[in-house]
Structure 1
Amino acid sequence: MKPLCLLAVLPFTVSLPAHAQAGETARVPVVDVRVLMVAAIDSPSGSALGVLTNKDAENITRHFKASGPILIDVTTVKRYAQAGCSRLKVSFRQEGVQVPGQAPGQPHTVDFGINYCRDGQPPRSLS
């Protein structure tokens, strides 16, 4: 999967999608996780929620015979002094994933942290 190399984004949905949890903010359909990373940096709450809707997502879902979409949660861990730069936690989650050696149909999560700025570059300083 190449989550950081795609550039287009689909329009924001106004209604609550079927994959959103009750009481959860609507998820933005995206083909590039960077859209959510910038949204989290700009958000007063420091978070952004999305659902991956590109060909990679379709292929991953089919390969793992998953029962749900790939959900993405981006949260701000720390805001740096450099404007538009933050430490972010990016979490990919999918329900019903079938991985060899694990019970079938389990939820699967992949988390990572990244120092990221609105311009796509890392911050010049971590203070």
Structure 2
Amino acid sequence: MKTSSLLALVALGLSSLAHAEDPIRTPVPDARPVMFAALRATDGKAHGILTGEIADAISQRFKATSPIYIDVSTERKYAQPGCARLKVSFWQEGVLLPGAASPRRQTVDVGINYCLDGLPSRSLQ
């Protein structure tokens, strides 16, 4: 096997390893399905990609270069079954904010008390 072929195979293998750690992202019209998935997940995490008209409008407005990603993680579980404090992160690459010199990754984090019934928990205990 030629050296260049061997190097190409090694590079492909390393690339595959790097992507093996990428989370599976479900296309969603809003964050709620990802929040429900995190509440049900054994590790308290879920991931999605925002799709639809709202996602398209945001991406066009800020000339972004990637989809809008959603990462949800459980910060604290409450005594009420199916309820937790969630951290919901929306992020996108290549966002050009008004007045900015160049595009960059932009992240918005939101904390929310949420339950599987779609309401906040009755108690913070």
TM-score tier by shorter-chain length is: 0.7 to 0.9
Q: Per-residue displacement from partner, 1:68-104 (whole Å, max 9, x unpaired)?
A: 0000000000010000000000000000000012232
Which runs of 5 or more residues in structure 2 are unaligned? Answer: 1-17
* Percent identical: 52
Which structure is higher in helix share? Answer: 2
Off by >4 Å, runs of 4+ in structure 1:
none
What residue is the counterpart of 2:35 in the other structure? Answer: 37
TM-score normalised according to structure 2 size = 0.83
Which runs of 5 or more residues in structure 1 are unaligned? Answer: 1-20
Please list, as runs of the form range in 1=range in 2, the aligned pairs for 1:94-109 lying within 5 A after superposition: 94-109=92-107
* Distance of 1:34 and 1:103 partners within structure 2: 34
- Report the more deviating stretch, 42-51 or 103-112: 103-112
* Distance of 1:48 and 1:122 partners within structure 2: 19
Q: Does 1:83 align with 2:78?
A: no
What residue is the counterpart of 1:57 in the other structure? Answer: 55
* Distance of 2:46 and 2:75 partners within structure 1: 13
Task: Report the count of equivalent residues.
Answer: 107
**SS of residue matched to 1:81:** coil
* Distance of 1:121 and 1:95 partners within structure 2: 31
